[in-house]
């Protein structure tokens, strides 16, 4: 895609470059630059600057280029952008790298960066997106590798009977912030995955994420055989052979991509087991350079990091041997290995006949591996003990680094202004310092509540607007207009429940006792309402059945119109929800939630948690920042805990408002939420831990 927008006046031409760097999305001054061009167009283009600059009438651009107030704003934002892009004495060089500075190559099957880039299904993707944004902020030299998925994930449509339908949407590359990666001749880079017959070609695209480049692979190129063209069409395909091909392209093709863009040596950080084949390629390259197999394996291990997110064996890809034979039989000879010794790299000792296990491969070929919360570290050590049969469970070398969220991305802009005022103007520079957040106490309750109420109104308006649009433009069934949230009340206590409809997340739990729930919802003076959102995986019929059950309850008049289901959960909707609901509800089956991050986003914005003790909440809960309950061992028991907390604590506290309508005690809780998560559950804290614990020693290994 050409970056030059035909009608852009020279004076504000920098907007074009900025539109293609997601830096704008986490910098309020840059966001305002687009928004203030024309609020209506900004809204119609769903906050996508590339689309906006393509569609905006040229007179608007001309008039901005001649408006001194706009130009002042423009010059300030551009100066900041150029400063940001130009700094090189960053935290990383100063504290970690010293003179050796190899980039980190980060591999992930999905990235959640912005809703205009539909390359994610859920938490794993946002973790990756937040990780690379934070690496950019900290000046960590990182290149990211992933897929473009021209058909994205899918657009969710709920039928009137509650069944989820997937509408495939083809990515419109002209209005997406991606550009072709070019070779020296100015042609799009196309790389070939080695050792496949017929060869698989990958066209390369890129996304600028601040100072980080994310390379996106796309196999939909004409020279590929048809079956290969669709390898990267969609995220998480069901067919096992298709999946193997995807992972082959991701790991092995991804390594080839790095070579093609001139990156020969790097640390390797693998986000989940889909990416593990990259390790094989790393070993092979080292053998090619003359190392023995054993040395190549040792060197690979000491320079590679594997982050696992899965607390259950069923969540890991295991490929049948006949498929491994089909695609790898010409590959393992390069290792000087027999078929059996090659396959041993991926054999689970407890179940060696099951196939080739991608997590086992990653654990075997990395020296640094971690779970994503303290609890998940424990669970992982247990789960993988058999790989270290001579070690006691506590000594299994799997550590943890608790997830965090990219604060500038997830903080509500008006809340940010409040923080600027009370935490000091440069608070963002050191937002992972716990002391900084004590100053949240200085925010007058009235002010915090006012900003918060405004945000909540914004959420309710946004929800109604979506329902209105469906009603007007699609002639939606009236039931859909109601289930979409038109009856929501901006003053009622609002519970948010938004995440993938995976069975273990138990979206239906709150409906366990309908009479009790109805009493909560339909209370005349102290009403409660719930907003649901989330997609079930298209191949997960059980997930879809749960979604259908939830939807049918939403449509039941007995619930009083106090529950809404918002279709097509995505990044934008997540922003509205984590900023604007009053309570974030979380009730997975422990210990299935390795960490969870949406609660962290809510907490940062002053939304207290009502959560089972699992994942990050085991570390996050401090008795003052929300509510926690222990698992009871049954759904009814856990639901009972939720009802009891709502009836006795949450509802009374929320509605205990003074004559100005401010619930003073509730605002205290909001402040505790912010204080307890702003530093501790920030991506900055998380990425610094990765850098100190893993990137630093791995770099030492490279330089020695």
Ligand X SMILES: *Cc1c(COP(=O)(O)O)cnc(C)c1O
Residue ranges that bind ligand X, judged by CB under 6 A? 122-123, 126, 499, 569-571, 574, 596-599, 601
H or E element at residue 154: none
Nearer to ligand X, 215 or 616 (CB): 616
Minimal distance, residue 580 CB to ligand X, in Å: 14
Minimal distance, residue 122 CB to ligand X, in Å: 4
Minimal distance, residue 139 CB to ligand X, in Å: 25
Nearer to ligand X, 106 or 569 (CB): 569
DSSP annotation of 692 reads I
Nearer to ligand X, 26 or 81 (CB): 26
Nearer to ligand X, 324 or 547 (CB): 547
Minimal distance, residue 19 CB to ligand X, in Å: 22
Q: Say whether the peptide bond before residue 217 is cis (omega within 30 degrees of 0).
A: no
Minimal distance, residue 308 CB to ligand X, in Å: 15
Minimal distance, residue 298 CB to ligand X, in Å: 35
Residues 677, 603 contacting (CB under 8 angstroms): yes
Bridge partners of 267, per DSSP, are 104
Residues 550, 532 contacting (CB under 8 angstroms): yes
Bridge partners of 493, per DSSP, are 528
DSSP three-state, residue 668: helix
Distance separating alpha carbons of residues 662 and 653, to the nearest angstrom = 11
Q: Find, among 37, 138, 48, the residue nearest to 91 by Cα.
A: 138
Bridge partners of 142, per DSSP, are 104
DSSP annotation of 231 reads T
- CA distances to 1, 192, 552, 562, 644 from 517, rounded to whole Å, are 52, 57, 15, 11, 11
Nearer to ligand X, 303 or 587 (CB): 587
Distance separating alpha carbons of residues 16 and 243, to the nearest angstrom = 37
Nearer to ligand X, 569 or 627 (CB): 569
Q: Find, among 688, 351, 362, 636, the residue nearest to 517 by Cα.
A: 636
8 phi and psi angles, rounded to 5 deg: -80, 120
Nearer to ligand X, 480 or 505 (CB): 505
- CA distances to 96, 594, 675, 687 from 681, rounded to whole Å, are 22, 14, 10, 11
Residues 536, 547 contacting (CB under 8 angstroms): yes
Minimal distance, residue 588 CB to ligand X, in Å: 8
Nearer to ligand X, 587 or 598 (CB): 598
Minimal distance, residue 215 CB to ligand X, in Å: 23
Position closest to ligand X via CB: 123
Instruction: Kindly tell me the sign of the dihedral angle through the C-alpha atoms of 23, 180, 140, 303.
Output: positive
Minimal distance, residue 537 CB to ligand X, in Å: 13
What per-residue string of b and e applies to 118-139 under the rule 16 or more CB within 10 Å gives b?
A: bbbbbbbbbbbbbbbbbbbbbb
Minimal distance, residue 645 CB to ligand X, in Å: 19
Please name the residues in contact with 470: beta carbons below 8 A apart, sequence gap of 6 or more. 476, 480, 481, 484, 567
Distance separating alpha carbons of residues 599 and 498, to the nearest angstrom = 10
Nearer to ligand X, 485 or 599 (CB): 599
Nearer to ligand X, 49 or 123 (CB): 123
């Amino acid at each position: 895609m050409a970056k030059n927008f035909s009608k852009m006046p020279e004076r504000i031409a920098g907007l074009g470059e900025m539109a293609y760097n997601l830096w704008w999305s986490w910098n309020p001054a840059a966001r305002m630059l687009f928004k203030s061009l024309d609020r209506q167009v900004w809204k119609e283009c769903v906050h996508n600057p590339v689309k906006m600059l393509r569609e905006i009438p040229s007179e608007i651009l001309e008039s901005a280029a001649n408006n001194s107030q706009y130009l002042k704003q423009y010059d300030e934002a551009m100066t900041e952008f150029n400063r940001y892009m130009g700094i090189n004495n960053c935290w990383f060089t100063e504290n970690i790298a010293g003179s050796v500075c190899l980039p980190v190559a980060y591999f992930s099957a999905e990235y959640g960066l912005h809703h205009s880039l539909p390359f994610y299904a859920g938490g794993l993707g946002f973790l990756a997106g937040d990780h690379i944004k934070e690496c950019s902020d900290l000046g960590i030299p990182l290149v990211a590798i992933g897929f473009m998925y021209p058909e994205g994930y899918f657009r969710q449509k709920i039928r009137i009977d509650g069944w989820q339908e997937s509408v495939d949407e083809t990515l419109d590359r002209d209005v997406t912030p991606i550009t072709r990666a070019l070779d020296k001749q100015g042609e799009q880079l196309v790389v070939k995955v080695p050792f496949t017959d017929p060869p698989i070609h990958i066209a390369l695209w890129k996304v600028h994420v601040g100072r980080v480049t994310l390379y996106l692979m796309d196999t939909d190129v004409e020279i590929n055989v048809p079956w290969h063209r669709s390898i990267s069409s969609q995220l998480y395909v069901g067919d096992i052979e298709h999946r193997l091909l995807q992972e082959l392209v991701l790991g092995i093709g991804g390594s080839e991509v790095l070579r093609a863009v001139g990156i020969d040596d790097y640390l390797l950080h693998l986000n989940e087991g889909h990416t593990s084949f990259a390790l094989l390629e790393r070993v092979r390259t080292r053998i090619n350079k003359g190392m023995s197999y054993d040395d190549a394996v040792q060197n690979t291990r000491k320079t590679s990091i594997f982050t696992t997110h899965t607390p259950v064996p069923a969540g890991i890809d295991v490929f049948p041997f006949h498929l491994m034979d089909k695609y790898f039989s010409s590959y393992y000879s390069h290792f000087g290995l027999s078929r059996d010794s090659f396959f041993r790299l991926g054999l689970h000792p407890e179940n060696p006949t099951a196939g080739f296990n991608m997590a086992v491969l990653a654990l075997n070929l990395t020296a640094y591996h971690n779970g994503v919360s303290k609890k998940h570290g424990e669970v992982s050590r247990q789960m993988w003990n058999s790989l270290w049969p001579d070690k006691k469970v506590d000594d299994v070398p799997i550590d943890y680094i608790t997830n965090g969220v990219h604060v500038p991305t997830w903080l509500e802009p008006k809340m940010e202004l409040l923080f600027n005022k009370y935490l000091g103007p440069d608070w963002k520079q050191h937002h992972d310092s716990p002391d900084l957040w004590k100053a949240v106490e200085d925010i007058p309750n009235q002010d915090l509540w006012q900003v918060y109420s405004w945000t909540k109104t914004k959420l309710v308006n946004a929800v109604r607007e979506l329902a209105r649009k469906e009603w007007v433009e699609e002639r939606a069934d009236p039931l859909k207009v109601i289930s979409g949230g038109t009856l929501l009340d901006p003053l009622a206590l609002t519970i948010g429940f938004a995440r993938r409809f995976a069975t273990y997340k138990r979206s239906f739990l709150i409906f366990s006792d309908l009479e009790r729930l109805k009493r909560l919802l339909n209370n005349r003076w102290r009403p409660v309402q719930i907003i649901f959102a989330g997609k079930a995986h298209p191949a997960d019929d059980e997930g879809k059945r749960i979604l259908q059950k939830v939807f049918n309850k939403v449509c039941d008049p007995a619930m009083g119109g106090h529950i809404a289901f918002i279709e097509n959960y995505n990044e934008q909707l997540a922003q509205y929800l984590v900023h604007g609901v009053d309570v974030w509800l979380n009730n997975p089956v422990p210990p299935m939630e390795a960490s969870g991050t949406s609660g962290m986003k809510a907490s940062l914005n002053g939304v207290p948690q009502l959560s089972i003790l699992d994942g990050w909440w085991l570390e996050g809960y401090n008795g003052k920042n929300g509510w926690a309950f222990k698992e009871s061992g049954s759904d009814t028991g856990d639901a009972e805990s939720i009802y009891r907390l709502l009836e006795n604590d949450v509802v009374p506290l929320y509605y205990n408002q003074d004559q100005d309508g401010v619930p003073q005690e509730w605002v205290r809780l909001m402040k505790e939420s912010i204080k307890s998560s702003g530093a501790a559950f920030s991506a900055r804290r998380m990425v610094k831990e990765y850098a100190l614990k893993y990137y630093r020693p791995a770099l030492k290994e490279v330089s020695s």
